[in-house]
Amino acid sequence: MKRAGFLALSLTLTLSTLVCSVGDVVLQELDDRSITTQIIGLLIQDLSINHLDIKVITDEGEVYLIGRVDTFEQRLLAEQHARSVSNVWSVINLLETNAEQPYDQGLREADLAIQTRLFTEMTTSGQIPFVSLAVHAFEGQIFLIGRVRSAQTRRKLLDLVHGIDDVRQVHDYLKIGSRL
């Protein structure tokens, strides 16, 4: 009888821990979405920045700014907007400026083709389980942001990306393991 009570208590504690952990993950994902939405709102309000060429990705409070702006000052201003949002603990500013390298419009179509092929390969293979994953293509560069379940999964994903034509560079910002 004591053993059954102990097992029931143990199961209850395990389930409550799991529910709290799952709840924490859901809250973190909602918080990440809220952070992204707030940053995009600030970029839209700031008429001195062309927000259409900026991709904002948030993962566990870490914000990634990817894309292109006209000047170095706009790059810094976009970062300031991101840092001003609550619950942001880090900003990775990967924005390039047109002064550094002129934008090649043909690359936008190539990026879409790369991203489409990558998502097709990922979904049809079924070999890449992930916890949360954001993939963004920009001028032939692939940005992998999020969390995968294991180092083996990370390696498979990197091999897949490197095997796609027109990929010039891969930026690996993947974390390994479950959030739970």
Each residue's pLDDT, cut to its tens digit, for the chain (180 residues) gives 554 443 343 433 333 333 444 454 455 566 899 999 999 999 999 999 988 889 999 999 999 999 999 999 999 999 999 999 999 999 999 999 886 666 666 777 888 888 888 888 888 877 777 678 888 998 889 999 988 888 998 998 999 999 988 899 999 999 988 764
Within a domain: 123: yes
3-state secondary structure of 56: strand
pLDDT at 124: 82
Beta bridge partners of 93: 65
Tell me, yes or no, whether 18 lies in a domain. Answer: no
Residues 123 and 172 in one domain: yes
Regarding pTM above 0.95, the answer is: no
Does one domain contain both 166 and 109? yes
Same domain as 152, residue 130: yes
Beta strands in 19-176 (DSSP E): 54-59, 62-69, 90-97, 130-138, 141-148, 169-176
Structural domain range at position 36: 24-97
